[in-house]
């Protein structure tokens, strides 16, 4: 029986962060845009009501880069879930 090998470089990786200061659709659109512009990011799901942002990328998301763009946009990345 042959073993199935999954290439970790092709499997998407997701990370969820808590972000303070979000309150509306504009916040969601802004964070989706600025995080989505980062290298390797393939998806951004912003949940304003829970204050959570899930980032999907081609490799492990860069926490420092995400925190930087979130802060520059006027919000605060408060942690990783």
Q: 31-74 pLDDT, tens per residue?
A: 999 999 999 999 999 999 999 999 999 999 999 999 999 999 99
CB 76 within 8 A of CB 19: yes
In total, the chain counts a number of residues equal to: 81
Assess if residue 3 is contained within a domain.
no
In which band, very low, low, confident or very high, does the pLDDT at 5 lie, cut at 50, 70 and 90?
low
Residue 7, both tokens: 């290439």
CB 61 within 8 A of CB 55: yes
CB 40 within 8 A of CB 57: yes
Domain that holds residue 57: 13-80
Q: What domain count does the chain have?
A: 1
- Give the model's pLDDT for residue 14: 97
Assess if residue 4 is contained within a domain.
no
């Amino acid at each position: 029986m042959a073993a199935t090998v999954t290439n970790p470089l092709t499997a998407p990786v997701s990370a969820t962060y808590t972000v303070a200061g979000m309150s509306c659709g504009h916040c969601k659109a802004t964070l989706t845009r600025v995080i989505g512009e980062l290298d390797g990011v393939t998806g951004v799901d912003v949940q304003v009501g829970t204050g959570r942002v899930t980032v999907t990328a081609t490799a492990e998301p860069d926490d420092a880069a995400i925190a930087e763009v979130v802060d520059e946009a006027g919000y605060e990345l408060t942690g990783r879930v």
